[in-house]
Structure 1
Amino acid sequence: MAEAGRICVTGAGGFVASWAVKLLLSQNYVVHGTVRGPGDEKNAHLKKLDKAPENLKLFKAELLDYDSLFASIKGCDGVFHVASPVPSTSVPNPEARIVELIQPAANGTLNVLKACSEAGIKRVIYVSSGAAVSLNPSWPKGQVKDESCWSDKDYCRATNNWYCLSKTEAESKAFEYAKGSGLDVVSVCPTLVFGPMLQSTINSSSLVLIKLLKEGYTSLENKLRMTVDVRDVAEALLLVYNKPEAEGRYICTAHMVKAQELVEKLKSIYPDYNYPKRQVIPSAFTEVRDEEHLSSEKLQRLGWSYRPLEETLVDSVESIKEAGLLN
């Protein structure tokens, strides 16, 4: 079958990116995947994907190394920029957070976009986050947040939400660059991403489920979670890439569920795990965040749909079990 096109996926070994690579290969795209170590065991799953031997090329690249990015992107039609720094354990001061998260996210994104301009890329899909939408205390109370809402950078700093700040900073810089350069950039902003893992390493959102199943917390804050399936995120990326009318930002979320409801759903299917002993009412700050209802209406108008929450939870848990992470 004829090649559908060539797409570079940055951070190809990660949770969302791996599913994007799998989907693209299934649709007869040739994929250039950037990873830090093409020979590393943690990227071995990519080489086992259907059509990978013929259509997947892994490139050693770093977000802050422009030349390595350009070499990966050259010859492609489009780019899915998925790679992003993920918060490590607590860092004692804001300056360290800026160095660890915010500068690599923003500067790395600009490197990718500059390489895209030089390589003549037709469209860039930037994977941002619902975190770049939701933290805005001046948004009208009770009003559902759409793509016109941006997280307030000063509020992110004041509340130590460094991941939110890094995603907001990087996405806003991406659109600034697009406006100045004429590069076609579209962003997708997923919320908390669940679903089966292709990779062998644990990603931060799958860890949320693992902890609910095995940590046996004495109590758990009953806060709102906005979730989406990783496979539906991958579908969203390809959808906005292929729709000529797609523009700007697209919130990607499917289900709003309180922590208690999530635990009860899991218990009804998997009764024998070490669930939290009791739920506690959210703090005042969490209640403010619980008003952050985001809408995927714009993405759905483009033709996107999502699977039931129960399907996502079952496939997530079965994947975690298969990986031996609940022993």
Structure 2
Amino acid sequence: MSRGGVEEEVVCVTGASGYVASWIVKLLLHRGYTVKATLRNLSDPRKTEHLKALEGAEERLELLEADLVEEGSFDSVIDCCVGVFHTASPVIVATTNPQADLIDPAVNGTLNVLKSCRRAKSVRRVVLTSSTGAVVYNGKPIAPGVVVDETWHSDPSFCHENKTLAEQAAWEFARENGIDLVVMNPGIVFGPLLQPTLNLTSQFVLDVVKGKPGFPLYQCVDVRDVAYAHIMGFEKSSARGRYLLVAESMTRIQLGHLLHKLYPSIVDAQIRVDDNPIGEVSRKKAESLGVSFMAAEVSLKDTVESFKEKNFLNF
């Protein structure tokens, strides 16, 4: 994709107050883009102040209100943008109606954004944030010797998950309407927080630090690598299809061991030996974008230090 000076280029980031999206906005501003950033509620300072404080925000960041479930809500925002980074998706830990609270807004919201992209003649490429949840859950065991790559697709009947269905809907719409779509599939995202609130994946790390039970498997990636991959997915003309973003796969016990090594005085050592070796996730395609994945140890340390800075941990 040929590009002129980025100082002349306007891009849109949806759900801009989120963990990954905030870092995308930060890196875009650093690279000289003008950013239209959408939020559901502009009156909440917890969603806006950390974005306004970013370097370059005063000159090149515009915060705009838009609603995922309202068709046409993104039309005026996306008009004149050359690129769209669609990160917005509902995240609710517990719900009695996942179809209405999670799946419908994720799928319909993604389609609403893509419809606005279709109407805006300026958009060259859309980069969609999906997840490994749309890749790995197809019934195959992730066992030693198994390498998961971008050809894997989660089976909706096996994993009725909002990211899986939203990504499927996006690919179908993009093919039918000639939209240049690139999809990022990150694992569980760690790293420092820009926003003042605790997001879901950071909560997973905090739970392990506090000795609470967690997932049996963590496919880890640093938020800064995820944000950079999104931007490379837009800028590089060779970018195509999906990109798995996983620096390292580790079990809950391995994660606990690593955190204990970093913070032996606050994280209990895991007594039990982990005897469940796991498969791996291919990094080749992501590395072809120029992504050099940060070591899990560095990412986890920065995560915990961010918890301390924002008073989620006191020690």
TM-score computed with the length of structure 1 as normaliser:
0.88
2:20 to 16, 40, 45: 16
The residue aligned with 1:249 is 242
Unaligned runs of 5+ in 1: 158-164
1:325 to 304, 312, 315: 312
Size of the alignment, in residue pairs?
307
Q: Any conservation in 2 of the 1:4–1:27 contact (CA below 8 Å)? A: no
1:213 to 209, 226, 232: 209
Q: Any conservation in 2 of the 1:131–1:167 contact (CA below 8 Å)? A: yes
2:286 to 299, 306, 309: 299
Q: Any conservation in 2 of the 1:8–1:78 contact (CA below 8 Å)? A: yes
* Letter paired with 1:320: F
TM superposition shift of 1:222: 7.8
* Letter paired with 1:136: N
The residue aligned with 1:81 is 86
Q: Partners in 1 of 2:168 and 2:7 — Cα distance?
A: 33
The residue aligned with 2:149 is 146
The residue aligned with 1:176 is 172
TM superposition shift of 1:74: 1.3
Deviations, residues 243-297 of structure 1 (Å, cap 9, x unaligned):
1111111111111222222212211221222547655879xxxx7xx75632121
Cα gap change, 1:88 to 1:244, in 2 (>3 Å): same
Q: Any conservation in 2 of the 1:212–1:275 contact (CA below 8 Å)? A: no
* 108-117 or 30-39: bigger deviation: 30-39
Which SS does the other structure have where 1:153 is aligned? Answer: coil
Q: Any conservation in 1 of the 2:253–2:274 contact (CA below 8 Å)? A: no
- Pick the structure with more helix per residue: 1
Q: Partners in 1 of 2:205 and 2:263 — Cα distance?
A: 12
* Letter paired with 1:102: I
Cα gap change, 1:110 to 1:99, in 2 (>3 Å): same
Deviations, residues 183-236 of structure 1 (Å, cap 9, x unaligned):
11110100010000000111001001111122x34xx46823110000000010
Q: Are residue 116 (structure 1) and residue 117 (structure 2) matched?
A: yes
TM superposition shift of 1:39: 3.1
TM superposition shift of 1:127: 0.5
Unaligned runs of 5+ in 2: none
* Letter paired with 2:87: V
* Letter paired with 1:64: V
Deviations, residues 65-105 of structure 1 (Å, cap 9, x unaligned):
2232112211211000001111332x34xxx1111111111
TM-score computed with the length of structure 2 as normaliser:
0.91
Which SS does the other structure have where 2:7 is aligned? Answer: coil
* Letter paired with 2:132: G
The residue aligned with 2:139 is 137
The residue aligned with 2:184 is 188
Q: Are residue 34 (structure 1) and residue 30 (structure 2) matched?
A: no
Q: How does 1:49-64 map to 2 (within 5 A)?
A: 49-64=54-69
Deviations, residues 108-150 of structure 1 (Å, cap 9, x unaligned):
0000000001012110000000000000115797431211111
Q: Partners in 2 of 1:269 and 1:34 — Cα distance?
A: 37
Q: Are residue 225 (structure 1) and residue 221 (structure 2) matched?
A: no
Which SS does the other structure have where 1:7 is aligned? Answer: strand
* Letter paired with 1:149: W
The residue aligned with 1:6 is 10
Q: Any conservation in 1 of the 2:257–2:269 contact (CA below 8 Å)? A: no
C-alpha root-mean-square deviation of aligned residues, in Å? 2.1
